[in-house]
Amino acid sequence: MIQLDYKDKRALYQQIKDKIKLLIIQGVLLEDEKLPSVRELASNLTINPNTIQRAYKELEEEGYIYSIRGKGNFVCEREDKSTVKVNALLKDLDKLVEEIKYIGVSREKVEKVISEIYGEGKE
């Protein structure tokens, strides 16, 4: 299910999180499917269980999985994931815009960058 790349610059928990996220998005892991326990996955990957716990915690915070105490971790509904993800990204955007505004970058500059990202204004 998951293979770690020790040459990858990303932390191990990030690699695990990204792989599980990809498996969910691709539909390999289905809604309400139980994920391996923290200990089981840690044992299979021969890493510290805290690493798995951190990946699972962040996946839950991002709305990809949910946990039931004493039962384990499960894949969330697909609609829930996208809504939660959009809301989290918009919250991050809000923080960034506040910081940009604080340091004095004009609204026009921010709007120009956003328009370029969306490919607007290009002929």
Q: What residues are paired with 75 via a beta bridge?
A: 65
For 39-77, how does the pLDDT look when each residue is reduced to its tens digit (9 = 90+)?
A: 999 999 999 999 999 999 999 998 899 999 999 999 998
Residue 19 sits in a domain whose CATH number is 1.10.10.10
Higher pLDDT among residues 79 and 89, named by residue: 89
pLDDT reported for residue 62: 87
Same-domain pairing of 85 and 72: no
pLDDT tier at 15 (50, 70, 90 boundaries)? Answer: very high
> What angle is formed at CA 6 by the lines to CA 28 and CA 23, rounded to 5 degrees?
10
Q: Do 69 and 89 share a domain, yes or no? A: no
Q: Is the CB of residue 76 less than 8 Å from the CB of residue 56?
A: no
Mean pLDDT over 85-99 rounds to 86
Residues 72 and 109 in one domain: no
Give me the chain's average pLDDT, please.
90
